[in-house]
Amino acid sequence: MPFLELTLPCTEAQQPRYERALEDVGALAVTLADAHADAPDEQAIFEPGVGQTPLWGEMVLTALFPGDTPSELLLHALAAHDEGLDWSRARFREVEDQDWERAWMDQYAPLKFGARTWIVPWNHALPEGADADDAAVVRLDPGLAFGSGTHPTTALCLQWLDALAGEGQVAGRDVLDFGCGSGILALAALKLGAVRAVGIDNDPQAVAATLDNAQRNGVEDRMSVHLPGDAPTGTYPVVVANILASALIELADVIGEQVAPGGQLALSGILAGQEDDVIAVYAARFDDLRAERLEDWIRVTGVRRG
């Protein structure tokens, strides 16, 4: 079924009123984009402050309506809903429906991390090397949760797990994936020989996606996934947390206490320039803290003291 798409430029101050009006007259979805995304000095918004929803000064608002919605009647309804808004710059076009997730997966190619870790989409044959006896292959359908291996933060963690496994520090051990997203890191650890993996995420969709991916990879009997309030207590010899720097700092006590003495920790999701703040907080519990960079992102690793 096709959709009717409405696009409209607006400012940060106007955005709440425009969005409220669109939702009230039946918009199926409303999204925002930077009006100057191609400007060389434009900065992406990576980390909002607590309780904040930062927006660009000027943006393009897009709304989807059922395809049979008359555009003229829709404009009349919007104008009547809030007479103080200007809808004269609204533009309409028809967009065809498609399975956006599957279309994305069709573009997604197998990726190798380290010596033997592979992330391969469900709809792709195993590439050469991924069919080796010692290959650790995760068949992934990220679904609604972040974590496909393509982002540098995830790649840094996969490389670390692969290297750690090469040193004999993953096989036969328990692993905690804090902020598990799609479960990609926990799944990789299990494929590298971990005896059990525990995932924690505050997004119920991430919990569902991780459980689904664990089942499809045949490791559901060795994987458990929890919301933070339901997470088991205890410590782990291997812990990886791929979340934003602000959250890593705020949750330093929570994360740090879950690493067993002598255990290995990897922290990712850190923008270049933020690593010193993260290291300063974790230095209270961890030795041998090191930062490694991939593109604009940093991974910090360390060993739990005593």
What are the DSSP calls for 202-238, one per residue? Answer: S-HHHHHHHHHHHHHTT-GGGEEEE-GGGPPPS-EEE
Instruction: Give the domain extent around 49.
Output: 3-97
CA dihedral (221, 223, 228, 232) positive or negative: positive
The C-alpha atoms of residue 188 and residue 118 are separated, in whole angstroms, by 8
Residue range 21-30: average pLDDT? 90
Q: Which of 97, 130, 160 is the last residue of a domain?
A: 97
213 assigned ligand-binding residue = no
Looking at the structure, tell me whether residues 169 and 76 fall in a common domain.
Answer: no
Question: For the whole prediction, is pTM greater than 0.85?
Answer: no
What's the pLDDT tens digit per position in 239-287? Answer: 999 998 999 999 999 999 999 999 999 999 999 999 999 999 999 999 9
Residue 110 is predicted with a pLDDT of 86
pLDDT for the residue 186: 97
Domain finish residue from 97, 126, 147: 97
Percentage of the chain exceeding pLDDT 90 = 61
Specify whether 86 is located in the same domain as 126: no
Q: Where are the alpha helices (DSSP H) in 34-183?
A: 71-81, 100-106, 152-166
Both 160 and 127 in one domain: the answer is yes
Chain centroid, CA 263 distance in Å: 25
Q: Which tokens hold the place of 269?
A: 């999701």
In Å, what is the CA distance from 132 to each residue of 122, 137, 226? 18, 10, 33
Segment 180-233, tens digit of pLDDT: 988 999 999 999 999 999 999 988 888 888 998 999 899 999 999 999 999 999
Higher per-residue pLDDT: 82 or 199: 199
Of the pLDDT bands very low, low, confident and very high (cuts 50, 70, 90), residue 3 is confident
Cα distances (angstroms) measured from residue 186 to each of 89, 157, 214, 255? 48, 10, 9, 16
The domain spanning residue 87 has which CATH number?
A: 3.30.70.260
The pLDDT of residue 188 is 97
Q: For residue 242, say whether it is annotated as part of any ligand binding site.
A: yes
State the pLDDT at residue 245. 92
Q: Does 201 belong to an annotated binding site?
A: yes
Average pLDDT across the chain, whole number = 86
For residue 158, the one-letter residue type is: L
* Sign of the alpha-carbon torsion through 243, 244, 246, 249: positive
pLDDT at 158: 96
- Would you state the pLDDT for residue 37? 52
Q: In this predicted structure, what is the pLDDT of residue 285?
A: 97
For residue 78 the two structure tokens come to 């919007």
- pLDDT over 90 (residue 132): yes
Q: Check whether residue 63 and residue 157 sit in a common domain.
A: no
Give the span between the Cα atoms of 208 and 136, in whole angstroms: 23
State pLDDT tens for residues 29-51. Answer: 888 777 665 544 444 433 333 34
- Stronger pLDDT, 104 or 295, i.e. the higher one: 295
The Cα–Cα gap between 190 and 209 comes to: 16
91 and 123 co-located in one domain: no
**Count of domains observed in the chain:** 2
Confidence (pLDDT) at 8: 92
Looking at the DSSP bridge assignments, the partners of residue 226 are 200
How does 246-269 read in b/e, with b if 16+ C-beta sit within 10 Å?
bbbbebbeebbebbbeebbbbbbb
C-beta neighbour count of 64 within 10 angstroms: 18
Shared domain check, 160 and 107: yes
